[in-house]
Amino acid sequence: MPHYKYLHRQTVIRDALWLSAINVLLFIIYAKYDFFEWVLDQVEQYEYLELDEILPLTASLTISLLIFTYRRMVELGKISQAFENLAKYDPLTNTLNRRAGYILLQQFNDSAINKNESYSLLQLDLDDFKRINDLYGSSIGDEVLINLANLIKQQVPSDAEIIHWHSDNFIIAMPSTKQAPFELANTLRYAIEEKLFAADKITCSIGLTMWQSGTSLADMLLNVEDALLDAKAANKNTVKVA
């Protein structure tokens, strides 16, 4: 099936309206000038030309064109979705990249301002990740990042959004949930320490901030980064709240 988002674009609706208007106009013209009666007269007058076969052929061609168009729409929908995924998702961790993540965070913040619905930001950074790359190589480092993204997905609520901000740094945006953000951050920190990498101990530092009325997205990002820096300064492997 064509991706549903592309079937609800304004261009699709506009084209459908134009085609409907054109077909209504053609129907009026056909009715006024008795076009099909004229065709039937020609069929009877020139029976030896087998003109009557044109009508079923026209119907079969129309059906063929509809099938052809639908199949091209399916292919274009898949191609469009593939390009959208390339533009939105980090190919290594399969989480939102920074560009798409920033747009999503702006939507979170706009929704919070318009509906007064709070949300939380967690910024997570692995402690001394360069040591892992230096000791085990960048390919192992990539595996660690992939495992980290999967581990985060397992620990956070289903409505949370995970953004690969840069390198080994991730931002997690969570709408208001029953689980306290600070408790969730510590649960995530413990899980990373215990499960992320069997060959070596890897810890993380996490900054946390919660939206308050009137806070801009720029302030939220600044606050969560400050909290993360505080966690790094406090001997790492901890959670700090801005």
Residues 6+ apart with CB under 8 A from 204: 124, 125, 126, 127, 188, 189, 192, 193, 237
Burial class (CB in 10 A: 0-12, 13-18, 19+), 140: middle
Per residue in 198-230, pLDDT (tens digit) is 999 999 999 999 999 989 999 999 999 999 999
pLDDT of res. 48: 65
Confidence of residue 54 (pLDDT cuts 50, 70, 90): low
| Complete DSSP assignment for 86-150 | HHHB-TTT-SB-HHHHHHHHHHHHHHHHHH---EEEEEEEETTHHHHHHHH-HHHHHHHHHHHHH
Per residue in 96-135, pLDDT (tens digit) is 999 999 999 999 999 999 988 899 999 999 999 999 999 9
